[in-house]
Structure 1
Amino acid sequence: MATQNPPQISSEEYREVLKTAFVQCYQTSNDAWSYEEAMREVPVYFLECIGDQKAHILDIGAGSGKDAEILLKAGHSVTGLDLYEHEAWQFLSYTWGDRINFVKSQFTDWQPSAETKFDAVFDNGCFHHQHPSLYFPYLAHLKTLLKPNGIAMLSVFTPLDENTDGSFIDFDEGRIGRSFSVNELQQLLTNHGFIWLDSRLIYRPWHEHYLPVHYLAALVKNQP
């Protein structure tokens, strides 16, 4: 896994690479992110930000439903979206009934009814794997699904050194990652119509199989 320049393939080609990579990771139990303790700190932070009011939350990249379950246990309703239909969905649906709804789709392809608006949107590690040319349509789609003044949390890779700009990361199976500094992420999100509210650095303990990055969880509000 090495830093690199932006991907040289088109966004359409990369969409297929990304889908294949994630499906393969789940099918071969190489979804390390599902079991990483640092990633489970992000929904806990999100719950702090939401407060006591019960919300309907869109969980982008729901995967095995680890984050969705944390949100459900706090009393919220969740729509979990992922390009891979995980075997855990059936059990979670049985356990939580109509408070959870899973949808198999790539995020930018998903077109629910025009009336479908969420109180909050949660993205724990999906946005930073997108092709750079899709940042705008990704964030624009997120805005359309979020109620006016609704909140969103995006968690992304961030450099170990807080004073360093982010960079691209090349994964072995062809997907890319992008780390962001606080300033880079704040500028990107505010330029796309969101109000920056807060952020938190989520530290990852060193591990020989982990990327040399931490996580940056950003809280924003949908500007009407």
Structure 2
Amino acid sequence: MISKILSFTLLFSVISLAQDIKPYKLDIVRNGKVYHQVASSFWASEYPSPVININAQKKGTTNIKGYDSLREKTKLKVCEVENGLYHPWAKKPNSVINFYTITAVESYDIVKNIPSDIKQNFILDDTKRVLKVGDKIINVVYGAEGYSQGVLRSNKKADILIDFPSTIFEENPTIFKQIEKSSTLEKNEQWLHLECKQGYKVFVEDKDLLSQKGIKEGEIRGYGDISI
């Protein structure tokens, strides 16, 4: 159990540039329709993909196109970024401010006292906090290595991050009651938030960036190891 927790903790420290950003609800517009989603500040999976090669084989900068906001794909604007590999495992951040994933809404109520053998599976940011009936675990998102992350919401206490095995709610339906779930988008979305040489910032979806002229897909050679 300890080895799994350590593995998961190390993984999150690698794939997230903003570990303190809790998953949060976000309304987005796609093709004129509003979707209620959750945004998290990392790309999930044991081997997050794709690796995006922006002329990484040479020094300099490249012009790409992105949006002012990921909430809605409106007018594109040109963004000059550093050449390099763009991925959570990249050795240099290049022009990346952060990575984001847009997923479905999923939240739970704790409706029954949690036995100690189940409670020990939860990893809380605040070790003094205790899970109790009436608490909510909201904005659940998958991380990696069979673990997920959410936000613990308790009465009159600050929200904190909480990590746990991804199957824990399914395996204990009498303890955790699902209170909201939406699966509006057909697929999750992955975005990059980039700092432009022009002095402003843009958002670009991974698949949109890969479709732009001169941008290629790199490769994952092993855990934590990427190349052109």
Report the TM-score, using the length of structure 1 for normalisation: 0.24
Could you say which structure has the higher helix fraction?
1
- Highest CA radius of gyration, 1 or 2? 2
Which one has a larger percent strand, Structure 1 or Structure 2? 2
Greater RCO between the two (CA within 8 Å, min separation 6)?
Answer: 2
